[in-house]
């Protein structure tokens, strides 16, 4: 008997919990630079932050990592956390904020289905800040499947979104 189970299409990834070396350092980044809101602290070892008052989109904890060095870039583990912005203009706004705060980015790409800015948090956890293009504009392969790629993202064009 074949197992045809598929995850329901309405399924979403709810939150991520990151091991960090210093709660205050992480909060300065996630709150003061990216603009997330502190929902609650769990003692002095964990913080829960969100956008729009959700119980938490990101958990930060030092339960097993207080004072630790970043994870080895070439080992197994998290590659990046992707944070979806509602519009291209919202992505442009956070990109401008990173520029203004002189926070380094590690890359910027057009993936056909989305546009993304890449950076690392203070502990070296990878982040992708992105927006999805409208589904009807996603490129298709000759067989009708979605075509994704990695191409240069025109950052000046992205910033032009803020002029409208």
Residue 129 structure tokens:
């800040």
Per-residue burial over 116-135, b if 16 or more Cβ lie within 10 Å, else e, is: bbbbbbebebbbbbbbbbee
User: In whole angstroms, what is the distance from residue 10 CA to residue 134 CA?
Assistant: 17
Compute the average pLDDT of residues 129-153: 97
Query: Is 21 found in the same domain as 93?
Result: no
Confidence bin at 149 (pLDDT 50/70/90): very high
Compute the average pLDDT of residues 120-149: 96
Helices (H), the chain: 23-27, 88-100, 155-160
Has this prediction a pTM greater than 0.85? yes
What's the alpha-carbon Rg for the chain, to the nearest Å? 18
**In the prediction, which pLDDT does 12 show?**
85
Question: Is residue 72 included in any domain, yes or no?
Answer: no
Query: Is 164 found in the same domain as 83?
Result: yes
Compute the average pLDDT of residues 78-95: 96
Q: How far separated are the first and last CA of the chain, in Å rounded?
A: 56
Query: Is 135 found in the same domain as 103?
Result: yes
**In the prediction, which pLDDT does 1 show?**
59
Query: Is 146 found in the same domain as 119?
Result: yes
Compute the average pLDDT of residues 105-125: 97
Query: Is 86 found in the same domain as 62?
Result: no
Give me the half-sphere count of Cα atoms (radius 13 Å) on the Cβ side of residue 116. 22
Q: What is the mean pLDDT of the chain?
A: 95
Question: Is residue 24 included in any domain, yes or no?
Answer: yes
Name the strands in the sheet holding 46-50, side by side, starting at the edge strand that comes first in the sequence.
Answer: 16-19, 58-61, 46-50, 37-42
Q: Total structural domains in the chain?
A: 2
Question: Is residue 7 included in any domain, yes or no?
Answer: no
Query: Is 160 found in the same domain as 90?
Result: yes
Query: Is 154 found in the same domain as 114?
Result: yes
Question: Is residue 4 included in any domain, yes or no?
Answer: no
The vertex-41 CA angle with 121 and 18, nearest 5°, equals 30
Would the pLDDT of 2 be above 80?
no
Would the pLDDT of 8 be above 90?
no
Query: Is 59 found in the same domain as 84?
Result: no
Query: Is 57 found in the same domain as 89?
Result: no
Q: Residue 134: give its domain's CATH number.
A: 3.10.180.10
Transcribe 119-153 into DSSP letters: EE-TT--EEEEEEEPPGGGS-B-TTSPBP---EE-
In percent, the amount of the chain with pLDDT more than 70 equals: 99
Question: Is residue 112 included in any domain, yes or no?
Answer: yes
Question: Is residue 5 included in any domain, yes or no?
Answer: no
Query: Is 150 found in the same domain as 89?
Result: yes
**Which residue range(s) make up the domain with 40?**
14-66
Residue 84: exposed, middle, or buried by beta-carbon count in 10 A (0-12, 13-18, 19+)?
middle
Q: 121 vs 75, which has greater pLDDT?
A: 121
Confidence bin at 136 (pLDDT 50/70/90): very high
**In the prediction, which pLDDT does 117 show?**
98
């Amino acid at each position: 008997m074949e197992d045809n189970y598929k995850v329901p299409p309405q399924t979403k990834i709810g939150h991520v919990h990151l091991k960090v070396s210093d709660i205050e350092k992480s909060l300065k980044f996630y709150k003061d630079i990216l603009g997330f809101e502190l929902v609650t602290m769990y003692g002095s070892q964990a913080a829960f932050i969100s956008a729009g008052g959700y119980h938490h989109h990101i958990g930060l904890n030092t339960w097993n990592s207080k004072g630790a060095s970043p994870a080895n870039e070439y080992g197994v583990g998290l590659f990046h956390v992707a944070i979806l912005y509602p519009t291209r203009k919202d992505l442009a706004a956070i990109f401008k904020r990173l520029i203004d705060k002189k926070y380094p980015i590690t890359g910027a790409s057009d993936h056909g289905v989305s546009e993304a800015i890449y950076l690392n948090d203070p502990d070296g956890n990878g982040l992708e800040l992105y927006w999805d293009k409208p589904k009807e504009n996603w490129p298709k392969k000759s067989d009708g499947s979605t075509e994704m790629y990695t191409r240069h993202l025109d950052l000046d064009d992205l910033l032009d979104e803020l002029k409208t």
